[in-house]
Chain A
Amino acid sequence: MSAGTPAPTPGELRGLIRGWRRGHVTTPWGELLYQAYVALLTVLIYGSGLVTAVINAGQAVEGCATVTCSGTRAAGPVLLVLVWLALGAAVLRLLGPLMVSPAASALVLSTPVDRGRWLGRQYVTASALSAFAAAVLALLAAVTAGWPLLTGTALALAAALLAPVTYAAGSIAQARPRSVWRAVAPAAALLALAAVGAVAAGVTADMAPPEDAWWWLVPAALAPAAAGSVVLARRRLGELRRRDLTRGHGLANGLSGALAGMDTALAYDVVLQHTSARRALVRARRLRGPRGPLALVTADLVRLRRAPVRVLAPAATVVPAYALAEAGAGALTVPAMVVLGFWAAIPLGAGVRVLSRSSSLARLLGASSWQLRLGALVVPAVVLVAFGLGCLWALPHPLLAPAVGLGALAALTRWLVASPPDYASAMISTPMGAAPVSLFGNAVRGFDIAGLVSIPALFAPDAVGASISMAVSAITLGVLVARR
């Protein structure tokens, strides 16, 4: 190509690629039709199940006996949308949100092809999907909470407008990391937390499902902001660097590999490795403190000082306990908080996780594996017991507070130290092909212990139930720590 020849357009390149792919297609029509039939059947089966679940949940909401319970549940859809957007913003920030494969990076992005236009289709598709998912979620939540169709649709539309704004903010921040758009993800998290806090404080106690037509002003007001941010983000696509686009693809590949094995801990390893490699340089601190296995406590304190959010996350997760209590969850608050505590404390378990996944570091550190696990669990244990105590006033009995903390610690430890699926073990036949039995156990690790320690509290939300729950947690911890 001479210097004067114009670069091919992204559309022309896509046409070429489409032509090559069509040339490689070997699937017969019969097979395609069969796959379409299976897909349709799957949608119908799961769709009918979802509709039944929504109807049942709606009936349960109608059974709300107290004013605060009804008010809290009426506010639920708004809360859910805000939490969804906050989680979405965090995930988008981690992944890019825009990404390209190494092949596209090497073969297309290295050429004079218009990068903005090349990425445009991915941007529009992902943005539309995010809007659709948010709208469906909001509509289902509104129907479940007993909102009228008029306001439920307004909420769905508002969610469908806010999701592309979040996506646009993520992609602009990807192109311009120092811009104010970078603050959208943490702002969304704070907003969601504030909303949960408002519910917990009883602000929504008197709320009824909204019925006024003026609720349609919300999506109407959001529409220009959504359109503006999407146009702005679309214009910035050409500014994206190749390195930022391929990084997210590598992470997504790693995550999909880990999740194919239903290994969520491995997925966390992939994320931690990705974020650490991206950070590359830190202000290292000398470890001064206890010797022996307790040196791991000092290492954990160094980690906390470097990333205080690791302790702020469990602290902020106390708030939903009070929102649940306000919603009249009663003893159900226990399993919910055990699971939330275990999730929020995962970043605190980086030390235990690395020590458990291979024996090399344990060999280097010299102490027994149980001593090292115990040393690495000190900081998570302190934080989670404090977390449990923070839930004290939201629980049916004061002794359930330490039970929640210990239960979350036991579930977290189980999640961190569990072995990956053993592909050399017996296999069972599944619709997806042969799979080891441990693959399915792997998917529920952590949750199994959360359920186990919560059962006594659910049946007896008093001192007896709390004591049994704590005993179960202590025994579980003992077994998990002592296991070689």
Chain B
Amino acid sequence: MTLLTVSGLSRSYGDHAVLTGLDLSLEAGRAVALTGTNGSGKSTLLRCVAGAEEPTAGEVLLDGRPYDERSAAMRRDVAALLDDLDLFPDLAVIEHLDLVAHAHRAEDPEATVDGVLEEVGLVDQADQLPGSLSSGQRQRLALALLLVRPRRLLLLDEPEQRLDTEGARWLADLLLREKEAGVGILFASHHPALVEAVADDVIRLGSSPDA
């Protein structure tokens, strides 16, 4: 069954149309990559799908029902990493993960968080406050925050940014495992190797080819 359906989605800022009548569908366990130049609408599309931005026209369906981010059940299914991540400056890395796991009523939050910390390679940074993390570590924390919570659909805006070469390989591996677990992934990327490794379909936005 189709997990996510986007039909006729448009988004304009005044007279400037960023997205016009965009259609896409995504099934559970599959990944769609959004590519395109800067300003082609990748982030805007993800923000519209996540409910962070109001589309000018069109609709977003999750399991065939209009996606409403006010619904707790729908929010539980959709894990989004957009470009607006904010963190509590006075809570440590592990406390952020514990908080998200508890807020989502994870079954065994402590074990889940320990496993994810290991997975993202932040065990040594567990006691650090976010302001002291490197940009790459901060990105790993952002990804970790998605992994400690339940999810059926992942929305990722350039998840590879600030990761080193090894980190990018790890990310591709992680997303493949997410697909195997039945999670649908819609992601924007400028990393051809990541797109090649993970995406089942590629949607190129904007008129000029991706850099």
- Smallest beta-carbon distance B157→chain A, Å: 11
Contact B131 A299 (CB under 8 A): no
Whole-angstrom distance between the alpha carbons of A427 and B35 in the complex?
A: 39
Residues in chain A near residue B129, CB distance under 8 A: 276-277, 279-282
Residue in A281, A285, A286, A303 whose beta carbon sits within 8 Å of that of B90 in the complex: A303
Closest partner residue, chain A, to B52 (CB atom): A359
User: Interface readout for B60-80 with A: 1 if CB under 8 Å, 0 if not?
Assistant: 000000000110100110011
Decide if A47 is an interface residue (CB 8 Å cutoff): no
User: Interface readout for B84-111 with A: 1 if CB under 8 Å, 0 if not?
Assistant: 1111111111110011101111000110
Contact B95 A302 (CB under 8 A): yes
Task: Assess A272 versus B89: contact at CB under 8 Å? Given A277-B132, A281-B129, A360-B82.
Answer: yes
User: Interface readout for A323-357 with B: 1 if CB under 8 Å, 0 if not?
Assistant: 00000000000000000000000000011001001
Residues in chain A near residue B50, CB distance under 8 A: 363
User: Interface readout for B114-154 with A: 1 if CB under 8 Å, 0 if not?
Assistant: 00000000000011111110000000000001100100000
Q: What are 27 A-B pairs at a CB distance below 8 A?
A: A273-B131, A276-B89, A276-B130, A279-B129, A280-B128, A280-B131, A281-B132, A282-B92, A283-B127, A287-B99, A287-B102, A291-B103, A292-B103, A295-B103, A296-B103, A298-B99, A299-B99, A306-B90, A350-B88, A350-B89, A358-B86, A360-B85, A361-B86, A364-B149, A366-B104, A367-B75, A367-B103
Contact A287 B98 (CB under 8 A): yes
Residues in chain A near residue B109, CB distance under 8 A: 287
Decide if A150 is an interface residue (CB 8 Å cutoff): no
Whole-angstrom distance between the alpha carbons of A281 and B84 in the complex?
A: 24
Residue in A277, A284, A288, A289 whose beta carbon sits within 8 Å of that of B127 in the complex: A284
Task: Give the size category of A's interface with B.
Answer: 35 or more
Known: A273-B89, A295-B102, A368-B72. 14 other contacts (CB 8 A): A272-B89, A277-B89, A277-B131, A282-B92, A282-B127, A291-B105, A292-B105, A298-B99, A350-B88, A354-B86, A358-B84, A360-B85, A363-B52, A366-B72
Residue in A351, A359, A364, A368 whose beta carbon sits within 8 Å of that of B100 in the complex: A364
Whole-angstrom distance between the alpha carbons of A283 and B82 in the complex?
A: 29
Decide if A390 is an interface residue (CB 8 Å cutoff): no
Residue in B84, B88, B93 whose beta carbon sits within 8 Å of that of A299 in the complex: B88
Residues in chain B near residue A288, CB distance under 8 A: 110
Most chain B C-beta atoms within 10 Å of own C-beta, residue among A292, A295, A296, A303? A295
Residues in chain A near residue B131, CB distance under 8 A: 273, 276-277, 280
The main secondary structure of chain A at its interface with chain B is: helix
CB under 8 Å from chain A, chain B span 168-211:
none
Task: Assess A286 versus B127: contact at CB under 8 Å? Given A302-B91, A364-B145.
Answer: no
Residues in chain A near residue B95, CB distance under 8 A: 284-285, 287, 299, 302
Most chain B C-beta atoms within 10 Å of own C-beta, residue among A272, A296, A366? A366
Contact A296 B99 (CB under 8 A): yes
Residues in chain A near residue B98, CB distance under 8 A: 286-287, 295
- Smallest beta-carbon distance A294→chain B, Å: 9
Residue in A299, A302, A366 whose beta carbon sits within 8 Å of that of B76 in the complex: A366
- Smallest beta-carbon distance A419→chain B, Å: 15
Whole-angstrom distance between the alpha carbons of A280 and B93 in the complex?
A: 11
Q: Which 7 A-B pairs have the closest CB atoms?
A: A277-B131, A295-B102, A280-B132, A284-B92, A287-B98, A276-B89, A365-B103
Whole-angstrom distance between the alpha carbons of A354 and B84 in the complex?
A: 12
Contact B72 A367 (CB under 8 A): yes
- Smallest beta-carbon distance A332→chain B, Å: 35
Closest partner residue, chain B, to A273 (CB atom): B89
The tally of CB-CB contacts under 8 A between chains A and B is: 115
Residues in chain B near residue A368, CB distance under 8 A: 70, 72
Decide if A293 is an interface residue (CB 8 Å cutoff): yes
Residue in B75, B82, B100, B110 whose beta carbon sits within 8 Å of that of A286 in the complex: B110
Closest partner residue, chain B, to A357 (CB atom): B86
- Smallest beta-carbon distance A259→chain B, Å: 19
Closest partner residue, chain A, to B94 (CB atom): A284
Contact A284 B93 (CB under 8 A): yes
Whole-angstrom distance between the alpha carbons of A368 and B126 in the complex?
A: 28
Contact A289 B84 (CB under 8 A): no
Contact A363 B69 (CB under 8 A): yes
Task: Assess A351 versus B88: contact at CB under 8 Å? Given A280-B131, A286-B98, A368-B72.
Answer: yes
Contact B90 A276 (CB under 8 A): yes
Closest partner residue, chain A, to B74 (CB atom): A366
Whole-angstrom distance between the alpha carbons of A306 and B92 in the complex?
A: 11
Closest partner residue, chain A, to B129 (CB atom): A276
Residues in chain A near residue B52, CB distance under 8 A: 359, 363
Residues in chain A near residue B76, CB distance under 8 A: 366
Contact B102 A291 (CB under 8 A): yes
Residues in chain B near residue A357, CB distance under 8 A: 86
Whole-angstrom distance between the alpha carbons of A276 and B91 in the complex?
A: 9
- Smallest beta-carbon distance B12→chain A, Å: 16
User: Interface readout for B35-54 with A: 1 if CB under 8 Å, 0 if not?
Assistant: 00000000000000010100
Residues in chain A near residue B94, CB distance under 8 A: 284, 286
